Amino acid sequence: MTDASSSPQALTELSDDESLFQTTVADFARERVAPLVAAMDRDARYADGIVPGLFELGLMGIEIPTTFGGAGASLFTAVLAIEELAKVDPAVALCVDLQNTVVNKAFLYWGSDEQQARYLPPLSRSSLGSYALSEAGSGSDAFALATRATRQGDVYRLEGRKLWITNAAEAEVFIVFATVDPDQGYRGITAFIVDRATPGLQVGKREDKLGIRASSTCELILEDCEVPVANVLGAVGQGYKIAIELLNEGRIGIGAQLVGLAAGALAQAIHYAAERRQFGQPIGAFQGVQFQLAQMAIDVETARLLVYNAARLCDAKRPFRKRAAMAKYHASQVAERVASRALEIFGGIGFTKDLPMEKFYRDAKIGTIYEGTSNIQLQTIAKQLLAGDES
């Protein structure tokens, strides 16, 4: 892997293996995903074969070591996969993103030997995972948790409700955050591994969303949910650290999803501008359209550079928190802006469901909200700057 401190070209220059991998994912997206995008959006669920296909291609355990059945690759490799899938369907890209940058990383960084041996092989081969942090009263204030974990002998009993939990409808394992002692504030927050079959765990209603509709977003209900002490992830009271570090890395994956979305919208707009004729010539011959396409291309490239740089810094074990926030923030702004401008180039037909532009436009909005709102990203960046952190 090229070092993140080398020349600017290194940020987008891919090795032969990375280029081949990127092409393989792009082919899968075009051949297997694209024909089903409209139906998945309408039905608000993944079509049969999509998630198994992601596992078959090795996209769900990219950073899991080969000893556990994964690819043993890098975050940057995961970023390439997420971006390529998002060019066709950001909802499918989100499934790959959450699995690799949040769920798998939780086990890789904080799982015990026994937990890794038990959960990493199925996560790389066949089982989806989910991350349950948010609640009705804890969104941006992520650690105002009401979910309680009470120890009784060799088990903890979890009580509470989680909201907006991605992949919840399909997940086989959940990483659930609860507090063992509200009086300790964030120091009482603990992460628990909860299997889907655990009594007292119920997946609630599926949200009817504006965008990324194929990706499930559900309520998670915990009522006298008994979890073995052995299923504490990391250590008691370490949940705050686990959640923060996972979100920091997860923002790079969301940035890649949004870059892919913007790149997909731009590609559609370029093709349409070359084909659509008005006043005797393609609309792409008009300077006004050309300038819009050029500005969109600049936006996509700057967002991509920020995302790639953050990913390479992370892979190199160098500080990346500020760069991840910058990448996620900028990519979310670019995705909204490019999707909007691309839809305008299509004109009236872009506003219909006959073409993919209106879906790109709807899918883009969530980028400014999840994995930390835009204001949270700006706050993170500002705090790093004021602390004199140049990383």
The full set of domains in the chain, from first to last, is 8-128 (1.10.540.10), 130-237 (2.40.110.10), 240-386 (1.20.140.10)
What φ, ψ does residue 147 adopt, rounded to 5°? -65, 130
pLDDT at 140: 75
Q: Are 134 and 166 in contact (CB under 8 A)?
A: no
Q: Which residues are catalytic?
A: 371
The CA R_g of the chain, rounded to the nearest whole Å, is: 21
Q: Which tokens sit at 39?
A: 């139906």
Q: Which residues pair with 160 in a beta bridge?
A: 222
pLDDT at 1: 40
* Per-residue confidence in pLDDT tens, the chain, 391 aa: 444 444 334 567 889 999 999 999 999 999 999 999 999 999 999 999 999 999 999 999 999 999 999 999 999 999 999 999 999 999 999 999 999 999 999 999 999 999 999 999 999 999 999 999 999 988 778 678 999 999 999 999 999 999 999 999 999 999 999 999 999 989 999 999 999 999 999 999 999 999 999 999 999 999 999 999 999 999 999 999 999 999 999 999 999 999 999 999 999 999 999 999 999 999 999 999 999 999 999 999 999 999 999 999 999 999 999 999 999 999 999 999 999 999 999 999 999 999 999 999 999 999 999 999 999 999 999 999 999 876 6
pLDDT at 314: 97
| Cα–Cα distances in angstroms (integers) from residue 309 to residues 6, 142, 212, in the given order | 11, 27, 26
CA count, 13 A, side-chain hemisphere, 54: 30
